[in-house]
Every structure is written in C-alpha cells, then in structure tokens.
Amino acid sequence: MLQNADLDAAVSEGIVTVQQATALRELAQKRERERAVSMGHEEQFRFIRGFNDIFFSIGIVLFIGGLLYYIPKTAFGMAVMAALVWLLAEVLVARRRLVLPGILLAGGFVAFVLAASFYLEVESWLGLQIRPSGSALPQSLIQALQLYPGGPLMFAARALVGAAAAGLFYWRFKFPFALLPLAASLVVAAIGVASFLFPQASDTVVFLLCGLGVFTAAMSFDISDRERLTRRADCAFWLHLLAAPLIVHSVISLVSDPLTGALSRVRPLQLAPVVSGSGALAVAVIVILLGVVAVLIDRRAMLVSGLAYLGGAIAYGLASSGNNASFVLSTTLVILGAFVLIVGIGWVPLRRALLAVVPPPIGNRLPPVPART
C-alpha cells in the first residue's frame, strides 16, 4: 500500500507531479473514509495484532509474578516494580506498539504506583485516625468512606495518585487503554469528594453522575472522529466500557432496587418473591431505551451491560408462571441469545431507521451509517 513517503519519493523522482500526488492522497483519504463508514458498525478496536502479543503477555505475567516474590512489600519495593513496568513499556509499547502487553503494563503501572502510595502511611504520619461515632454499620459506600483513616478526602487523594499514574502513562505512550484506569480513578476520587461534601448522598445518584461524566468524555472522542479512523475511537471505546455499567446499574437501581439487589446476590431464579411485575416491566423498558441509545451512538457496551438485568426481568416473568428453575434458566438464555443475535444482525438497518428520525444537528455528530447496497 502506498504511503505518503512513497508519494513524496515519486514526486522527487519525477514519476508523478505534485498535483497528481495531492490528488492521489485525497482519493486515498476518501476511500479510507468510505471503508471506515462501511465497517464502522462492526466497532473495531485494536486489542491484539497476532500471537506475538500473546507471547509477550505471557512473558510479562510470568516475569512480574515471579519478581514479586523478591521485591519487599514496601513503598520503595512497589516503586521499583512500577519503574520496571515502565521500562518494559518503553520497549513493548513505545517501540513495538504491542496492544495486549500494553494493557497489562498500563494496568500494572497504575496498580504498583497505587500500592506504593498505600504503603506510605501518610494518615498515621499526620495523626489522622477516624473512629466510628456509633455502633451502627454504614448503609452505603458514601457512609462507609466516613470511616476511612483520614476521612473521605484522603481516600480521594489516594485515588488521584492512580489517576496521575494513568495520565502519565497515556501522556508518554498515547495508549488509549490508559484512559480506562484514569477515568476509573477519577470516579473513585469523585465518590470520596461526594462522601465529604454530602455524607448522606445516595450511592446510586453519585454513580449515575460519574457514569454520565465518563460518557460525556467518551462521546467527545467519538464526535471528534465520526468515521473512527484515528486513535480517538479507541479512547472512546475504553471510556464507554466504564461508563456503560455505571449508567445502566444506576438507572435501573433508581427504578427497581429489589431486582438490582437480587441480581447482586446472583440468584436470578429466585426473583419472584422480591420484585414486582411492574418493576420487571420497567427494567425491560429501560434496557430497551438504553439499547436505542447504544444503536444511535454505534457502541454496544451499554446494551451488553443491560443484558443481566433484562435476563432478570425475563426470568421473573417465567418464574411467576410457576415454571421450574431449569426451564426458567434455559428459556431465559434462549430469549437473551435470540435478542442479541437479532439486534446484531439488524444493527445497520436499526441505525439507519433511528438516524432518519433524529434531528440533523444531532445526527450529523453521530457516526455515519453505511448506504444501502
């Protein structure tokens, strides 16, 4: 495939003129955009380029896992591990641009930096000790953070250390996955700040606001690269992967807490006693509406995040009719599987139909849909 350097060389050797080279570049860019539009519905992202990625990933896991035995479990030891991970990233990410090893190294670097910060017992040095004011157990995460040594703001500060590490990794290597731990750390920090400012706040509301914030950041990357030709599309993918469960879980929790609680206990076949029919119907409607959003923005993460809740609603409907557990489980899986297959096959026609009714100022910012063939 001809590159810009090849065209420049052709111009310098008199094979083509500058005008012809420019025309060829424009033609190549146009065809690339058309190809991207036709393939965009497949939501491609760079995860692995070959077995070489797996080979190096195995080496990273073995090397780091074995080295942990010799490294002292201190702040200095964790800092040394973080430095070693960074050196590996200089070779495998900066030079070789390996994706799967880069994911492991980015996660490892953030984890070791966080571990180093936790081994630095700043709370003890500052004499910050939080003790329960009463015997009552905290009823939410927001309340539980009141018991963190140094208070929720110190908890948020710890999370910001992880955010800084992930941001540094992204700044140096321009590696899209690093935005996932960066955003996750910022979400954790936001929860700590919310615990300090609003001690009685609802976990669900805070999670929803954080999810919407991450979703907004993801959409900013998507809007800046509608055809998904650049690294920004990969950045958006990882942010959507974090935003989707935060939004889906929060919205459904606000509507049907009993169903959410039942699913969190991983007992979907015992939903009948704890959730009403109206609650199950509401969950199904919410998942479908979120699915419409997923189709519009051409991102599947939000739809996938809602499948467990949709399965719970379906299981409730089947169990309430007196069916046995085996029948409920098997039928729920069949219905969910058929739903995923139908939506997957009809993804492009669905997008085309939805974009046809969306106002142009919004539709023109969303990924284009392939023309009918």
Query: Domain residues of the chain, as ranges?
Result: 1-42, 46-164
Could you give the maximum distance between any two Cα atoms of the chain, in Å? 85
Radius of gyration of the chain (CA): 25
State both tokens at 324: 């046995």
How many angstroms separate the CA atoms of 71 and 151, rounded?
30
pLDDT of residue 112: 96
Token pair 């089947």 in the structure block, residue: 318
How many angstroms separate the CA atoms of 33 and 11, rounded?
25
pLDDT in tens, the chain (373 residues): 556 666 566 666 677 676 666 666 666 655 555 555 455 455 566 666 778 888 999 999 999 999 999 999 899 999 999 999 999 999 999 998 899 999 999 999 999 999 998 888 766 656 565 554 554 566 778 888 888 877 888 889 989 999 999 999 999 999 999 999 999 999 999 999 999 998 888 888 999 999 999 999 999 999 998 888 888 989 999 999 999 999 998 888 887 655 444 444 444 444 333 445 566 778 888 888 898 999 999 999 888 988 888 888 888 888 877 778 888 889 999 999 999 999 989 898 999 999 988 898 888 888 888 766 4
State both tokens at 252: 């459904």
Is the separation of the CB atoms in 239 and 218 below 8 Å? yes
Read off the pTM: 0.81
Alpha carbon 354 to its chain's center: 25
pLDDT of residue 156: 92
Neighbours of 84 (CB within 10 A): 18
How many angstroms separate the CA atoms of 350 and 339, rounded?
14
pLDDT of residue 148: 80
Is the separation of the CB atoms in 331 and 318 below 8 Å? yes
pLDDT of residue 265: 45
pLDDT of residue 274: 42
How many angstroms separate the CA atoms of 239 and 187, rounded?
12
Helix axes 75-89, 51-67, angle to 10 degrees: 160
How many angstroms separate the CA atoms of 264 and 321, rounded?
23
Is the separation of the CB atoms in 337 and 314 below 8 Å? no
